[in-house]
Structure 1
């Protein structure tokens, strides 16, 4: 837990690029609003350390501005019980990320606006939004598979259940990291 908090603080200060290896544990990411330049969406399979396969939807963002960010993971700790590690920020001033990828299992958005939207693009031909370089070399990446892309998008009321998140840079003003007893997942 302390290591996760340290990584979160280092990411917020721009010292470390955001990168999480898939553990198989799902976490929640919510945002009041997410404004993106260069959006892509494609199917992929992530692999856990135990070699379990997890199908995901990879959301790629060349540049993202995030207001009201919340990330939480609920864990059961032997003897101590359930705890929630929660990171919040981007309330007064929005968080910003570049080359960000969210490997999601479910997503809901209250309101979505896309500009320059293309649905049904071959994954290998995505150009408006990024494709994770590691995904292009994966045996699970299908260059002929279905992808979506948009020049820009604005999403409001975002709620994502994810297994991985990575970014080239992720600047989070007003970052707050806390570990609380009980289940306090992002709303």
Structure 2
């Protein structure tokens, strides 16, 4: 991602300070591409997710450590309240380190357009409107990764709401991902968004 350099250091410092304090929303425009995944899982949690244009199908993700089965979920437009994202990694000489991202607290939720998530575990209280289960993945609306291979099991709905979202995933992409009130920290030790059930 290219970042336009600001001519004056004072303006740049003020912008970074504003982002860190949550005063400046961060909007990332991402061009979805096909890439080999790291294979490392990370967590996503939110008080609630509300989305329109939901599709989901079974797929296989290729990673540096082999292939993994999972479910690809695509949402045309989504809002997440009180988002938490965490990844725990092991670094040489340091041990376990957690990168933790929090955003979308209060009255300004995180917003995503053309959100695509590869997941292998999801928990929460879900409500779907006008859902169709057992659809051929190749007949799903949309294009690119919003569709699956012909004959693959899929489901679709006009809208979805998931309360108390707890998700383990290997990949997230979006055309636009707006992180209001963004806070990012990197700390020693394992400090995930939630403790996964055994």
State the TM-score bracket (shorter-chain normalisation).
0.7 to 0.9
Structure 1 residues 169 and 21, CA, compared in 2 at 3 Å: closer, same or farther?
Answer: farther
Structure 1 equivalent of residue 114 of structure 2: 99
Q: Structure 1 residue 142: deviation in Å?
A: 2.3
Find the structure with the greater CA-based Rg. 2
Shift in Å at residue 99 of structure 1? 0.3
Query: What residue in structure 2 maps to residue 5 of structure 1?
Result: none
Tell me which of 85, 101, 104 is aligned to 1:71.
Answer: 85
Q: CA deviation at 1:17?
A: 1.7
**TM-score in terms of structure 2 length:** 0.79
1:58 aligned residue: 72
Are the aligned partners of 1:18 and 1:170 in contact in 2 as well (CA < 8 Å)? no
2:26 aligned with 1:13, yes or no? yes
Deviation per residue, 1:106-154 (Å, 9 max, x gap): 1111x11111100001001112xx45x1575xxxx42111101000011
TM-score (norm. length: structure 1): 0.84
Tell me how far 1:56 sits from its aligned partner. Answer: 1.1
- CA deviation after TM superposition for structure 1 residue 48, in Å: 0.9
- Report deviation, 1:31: 0.8
Tell me, yes or no, if structure 1 residue 145 matches structure 2 residue 158: no
1:14 positional shift: 2.2
Secondary structure (helix, strand or coil) at the match of 1:142 reads coil
1:18, distance to aligned residue in structure 2 (A)? 7.6
Q: How many residues align?
A: 169
- DSSP-derived class of the 1:58 partner: strand
Structure 1 residues 143-152 or 17-26, which shifts more?
17-26
Describe how 1:61-140 pairs up with structure 2 within 5 A.
Answer: 61-92=75-106, 93-109=108-124, 111-127=125-141, 130=142, 133-134=144-145
- State the distance in 2 between where 1:18 and 1:79 align: 35
What secondary structure does 1:124 align onto?
Answer: helix
Residue 43 (structure 2) aligned to one of 19, 28, 37: 28
The 3 A distance-change label for structure 1 pair 77 and 18 is farther
Unaligned runs of 5+ in 1: 1-8
1:48 aligns with 2:55: no
